Structure 1
Amino acid sequence: MTLPPLTILLAAPRGFCAGVDRAIQIVERALARYGAPVYVRHEIVHNRYVVSQLEAKGAIFVDELDDVPDDVPVVFSAHGVPKSVPAEASRRKLFYVDATCPLVSKVHREAERHERTGRHMLLIGHAGHPEVVGTMGQVPDGSITLIETVADAERVEVADPGAVALITQTTLSVDDTAEIIAVLRRRFPELQSPKQEDICYATTNRQQAVKAIAPEADALLVIGAPNSSNSNRLVEVAKNAGCTRAVLVQRAVDIDWKALEGVRTLGLTAGASAPETLVEEVIAACRDHFTVELRDVVVTRENVEFKLPRVLVA
């Protein structure tokens, strides 16, 4: 039986970013240096496959420091944590390693600077996301107002419109954020913004790659976790760019093959916390149903690397 043809447009860049790669290395090096178990507060990155691989090596993932015994190493996730978390770890004399992505740490430093200079901050982000919780936890309560939508931007009020600053979650949709920022700048002409937008290079690059393949694709798969902000934004970007049949899948087993009947061109990408192994798994599964031709669509090449904490390098 002859399988139907399928051209897979493989977006590049895709998958792991430098911050995710660094965070995973931190857990692996901590296990190698200190032995199992190494505790990790929250998922180190939002990907169940990655978490399971690290659990198999001896990492134990917990929700809060209360779940961490004394005298064991603990790692904080790539999304960042409120200041209260390392403070509590220090109080308990826990040895901890902070795996916060350096680009998230940059936002934390911006928040501290704005708070010191008396500016109220408007944070564009998603309520309850670990990165947002961590950023808001860098400064006293009431210093930041969360903005999730254009409607929020239209109605937000601040005590002093002349002393207001903008910060953003790093994993948002560039286009959606631009719309919210435009409203805030119209309403607050003296709004202080970062010299470079807080949305990280990897988020931007992956969204640009999806925009490049979406118009040609009959359907598009984004490999990523349901709780991964950047992966969910890739689905939205694909739909806005013309591929209405864009869906998020965690693994090949999650693919709805009936929904792909009649598809001749499939876009494929992976969120910043999804390993290339899962991309290869999906391609292999496609070969069971189609005669596959791969076509790489490269919008840029990344060469960013972040240094590991000195305590794990010395």
Structure 2
Amino acid sequence: MTTARPTDLPETPLSEVLLAEPRGFCAGVDRAIEIVERALVRFGAPIYVRHEIVHNTYVVNDLKQKGAIFIEELADVPPGATLIFSAHGVSKAVQQEAAARGFQIFDATCPLVTKVHVEVAKLSREGYQFIMIGHKGHPEVEGTMGQLSDGIFLVEDVADVARAPVTRPEQLAVVTQTTLSVDDAAEILAAVKARFPLVREPKQQDICYATQNRQDAVKVLAPQVDVVIVVGSPTSSNSNRLRELAERLGTPAYMVDAAEDLQPEWLADRPRVGLTAGASAPDVLVQAVITRLKAMGSVAVRRLPGVQETIEFPLPMGLGNKSMAEFAAQRS
């Protein structure tokens, strides 16, 4: 008697899972989530957060269960409430409205995004216009462009560069969304420099260290595997860039928000699986995907060598720098 093959197993048995290094949470995401959790401990629920604190469904749902309320309009926040700005940053107009409404505000903007905001403000006072390389509608782009009332022009691709209505090419600077594809940004920047030879570049590139490191890790991972799985939510820019990069390198790639999104047909005749995660995806989701891959037949999990990240960012004043356990105990 022949036993039927389970329908959730690929036709070709899996042999190995290769883990990219680094992957998952970056320092800015860790900091943003901890700000919300500490605010909940200190002030109690509800805590209001403008926009998703980071672009990950699991993280947002977990914080909702703990008492965070995510809003887009400040009119939805009651007077006297505690409000947190998301890791993506906000415009000057949002900052001013929030202050005028009298909220208690904690800013969870990633310090690397804040660095871009500071650079824009400084050079604007010196008379510069700006080209911003980024994706229209992304909250980080809206926050950075919203640092100025005018004189900053968004370009999403090389074709946009030719249309940028710059009027002061001798006083022009370029800034970049921190979560872009490194290669795509370099191509667009080359077009900017070709049209505007005097353009001022940042002293340090705006694409953050974590985005760079995770893309470099995929460049190492993709040639060694038959398929790449990226753990990340559809709204996550840096997760989408990882999937696109793997595909550009010639390796089929798919993104999953959770382990149950993994489809057996993706793994058919692809016994060696590469696994990574965007900077806003927690390790618990990666481990769940590994568990599902083992159930689907993988016999080994191997971690590739890579950069070890040690960067930490300080918390805002008023939320303390004790460990979360010490902080919670102190407030209880």
Contact between 2:153 and 2:165, CA under 8 Å: does it hold in 1? no
- Rounded to whole Å, the distance in 2 between the matches of 1:239 and 1:257 is 19
**RMSD across aligned C-alpha pairs, in angstroms?**
1.3
Count the aligned residue pairs: 312
Instruction: Determine whether 1:115 maps to 2:133.
Output: no
| 1:217-249 alpha-carbon deviations (Å, 9 max, x no partner) | 111111101111000000111112221x10111
Q: How does 1:179-194 map to 2 (within 5 A)?
A: 179-194=187-202
| 1:107-133 alpha-carbon deviations (Å, 9 max, x no partner) | 001111121111110000000000000
Task: Tell me the CA shift for residue 64 of structure 1.
Answer: 1.5
Contact between 2:88 and 2:139, CA under 8 Å: does it hold in 1? yes
Instruction: Determine whether 1:139 maps to 2:114.
Output: no
Task: Tell me the CA shift for residue 291 of structure 1.
Answer: 3.1
Task: Tell me the CA shift for residue 88 of structure 1.
Answer: 1.0
Instruction: Determine whether 1:312 maps to 2:319.
Output: yes
Equivalent residue, structure 2, for 1:49: 58
| 1:151-189 alpha-carbon deviations (Å, 9 max, x no partner) | 112332411211110000000000010011111111111
Q: Larger deviation: 1-10 or 47-56? A: 1-10
Counterpart of 2:30 (choices 21, 27, 44) is 21
Counterpart of 1:65 (choices 74, 91, 103) is 74
Q: Which amino acid aligns with 2:32?
A: A
Normalised by the length of structure 1, the TM-score is 0.97
Equivalent residue, structure 2, for 1:97: 106
| 1:177-203 alpha-carbon deviations (Å, 9 max, x no partner) | 001111111111110011110000000
Instruction: Determine whether 1:265 maps to 2:272.
Output: yes
Q: How does 1:1-314 map to 2 (within 5 A)?
A: 4-140=13-149, 142-243=150-251, 245-313=252-320
Normalised by the length of structure 2, the TM-score is 0.92
Give 3-state SS (helix, strand or coil) of 2:254's partner.
strand
| 1:234-275 alpha-carbon deviations (Å, 9 max, x no partner) | 0111112221x1011111111111221221111100000000
Contact between 1:286 and 1:292, CA under 8 Å: does it hold in 2? no
- Rounded to whole Å, the distance in 2 between the matches of 1:93 and 1:255 is 46
Runs of 4 or more above 3 Å deviation: none
Say if 1:179 and 1:200 are closer, same or farther in 2 by CA, change over 3 A: same
- Rounded to whole Å, the distance in 1 between the matches of 2:180 and 2:52 is 19
Q: Which has the larger radius of gyration?
A: 2
- Rounded to whole Å, the distance in 2 between the matches of 1:218 and 1:26 is 39
Q: Which amino acid aligns with 1:263?
A: R
Give 3-state SS (helix, strand or coil) of 1:310's partner.
coil
- Work out the percentage of aligned pairs sharing the same amino acid: 54
- Rounded to whole Å, the distance in 1 between the matches of 2:81 and 2:164 is 44
In structure 1, stretches of 5+ residues that fail to align are: none
Q: Larger deviation: 271-280 or 260-269? A: 260-269
In structure 2, stretches of 5+ residues that fail to align are: 322-332
| 1:63-117 alpha-carbon deviations (Å, 9 max, x no partner) | 1111111122111100000011121111111111010000000000111112111
Q: Which amino acid aligns with 2:281?
A: A
